Homo-oligomer: A and B are copies of this chain.
Amino acid sequence: MKPIQVGLLGVGTVGSGTFKVLARNQNEIKSRAGRGIAITMVADLDVARAQAVVGAGVTVVADARAVIANPEIDIVVELIGGYGIARQLVLEAIAAGKHVVTANKALLAVHGTEIFAAAHARGVMVAFEAAVAGGIPIIKALREGLAANSIQWIAGIINGTTNFILSEMRDKGLDFGVALKDAQRLGYAEADPTFDIEGVDAAHKATLMSAIAFGIPVQFDKAHVEGITQLAATDIKYAEQLGYRIKLLGITKRTPQGIELRVHPSLVPAKRLIANVEGAMNAVMVNGDAVGTTLYYGKGAGAEPTASAVIADLVDITRLHTADAAQRVPHLAFHPDAMSDLRVLPMSEVVTSYYLRLRVADEAGVLAQVTGIVADAGISIDAVLQREADEVGGEGGATEGTQGVPQTDLIILTHDTREGTMNAAIARMQALPSVLAPITRIRKEELA
């Protein structure tokens, strides 16, 4: 049987990696898939560079639509990225009856409902293992491996750039800005790192996992998105002293009131495996009612790890392109007529625990004032740490403030609290004359 014919849109890092891995492992892949898989046509604006990557045997065009229009092509791999032309091309490929593989988490998190509906109507598959956590087969684990479970929650380090920066900040005691520059110099962060450091990329991925886990539509607009740009070395150090690490987590959780979907820095107990995931690595914890807590770890980005996921999708499609809809895994794990209408909760309704740091005047009565407000709000305190001048170094410690007032850091860990309640309590504390700087609030997840 002749190989299944694949057309690539975009021959950048992942496209080149996909071509390379398919060529290198073609025998093994064919032995698994039962049929060869061949990239026979690629589209890239830089035709000469693309031709150099794929060699003389592959047709290279500048116009992606020529790939979609080619009746020989069975599967289109979209590696252009972004919401714009990529959306158009994916919809056109579907309309042309092509199966689609994409690594484009932004596209699917925002336009997934439209795209999956079109694919369902046309009877083609849209596969996206590469869109979340690179080479880690987390989409397959969620959609198939854990199919027995009522998923309870997912918490993942799903952005390598920010995890690299946080590792650097902790290892070297750096503040965010310095660590970001290091990451850019070493190629772990892009020149414009906004999508990574502001948590948007992680939120795209969390949105996809949330939909698959709970059977809800993709709802990126409902996600709470908070990055790591406000994190100070001080808080990483205090967290460490309290037995925690700070990680940027993508979290989605089932509650009786609805689904939580949020990305923000989180304190995580240092003894958890996920707290020890360092550098640009990714890891996703999944808790199911039957299986308990599982964890999946690996490289979340890079040419060949991402290619590994793209090709796994190509193998699945090679097996199932002749199958009927009932024989295929539904795009969002649940059959379209059996989706859930669970609502995504606004952040004010999320319940979690908190780390608070208050820069306060080092004078009698301040602790009583602060804890009085906390108690009034019905918030239960887990631990309080007051750092005097001789106990801390650097700017985080007790120092003479600009007004000459002796200052100290007051750190409070709370038990589970509704975010809206916490917001109100923080506002009251912030208004105290003895609170000298904006209060730092970082959420805390025990992940037990």
Which A residues contact B (CB, under 8 angstroms)? 17, 21-22, 24-25, 28-35, 129, 134-137, 140-141, 143-150, 215, 271, 273, 276-277, 288-299, 302, 304-305, 307-312, 315-316, 319-320, 322-323, 326-330, 333-335, 338-339
Selected contact of A292 from candidates B22, B140, B149, B305, CB within 8 Å: B305
CA A32 – CA B337 in complex, angstroms? 11
B contact residues around A323 at 8 Å (CB): 323, 327
Complex: chain B residue closest to A297, CB-CB: B295
B298 touches A293 (CB 8 A): yes
Selected contact of A25 from candidates B22, B134, B290, B338, CB within 8 Å: B290
Q: How far is the CB of A153 from chain B (nearest CB, A)?
A: 14
Selected contact of A273 from candidates B25, B149, B297, B304, CB within 8 Å: B297
Complex: chain B residue closest to A142, CB-CB: B137
CA A322 – CA B320 in complex, angstroms? 12
B326 touches A319 (CB 8 A): yes
Selected contact of A291 from candidates B29, B30, B276, B305, CB within 8 Å: B305
Selected contact of A338 from candidates B31, B296, B339, CB within 8 Å: B31
A308 touches B25 (CB 8 A): no
Given known contacts A323-B327, A326-B34, A296 and B299 CB-to-CB distance under 8 angstroms: no
B290 touches A305 (CB 8 A): yes
B contact residues around A288 at 8 Å (CB): 135, 308
B contact residues around A315 at 8 Å (CB): 144, 147-148
Given known contacts A32-B333, A140-B140, A146-B137, A290 and B273 CB-to-CB distance under 8 angstroms: no
B contact residues around A134 at 8 Å (CB): 291
CA A129 – CA B290 in complex, angstroms? 15
A147 touches B33 (CB 8 A): yes
B contact residues around A277 at 8 Å (CB): 273
B148 touches A144 (CB 8 A): no
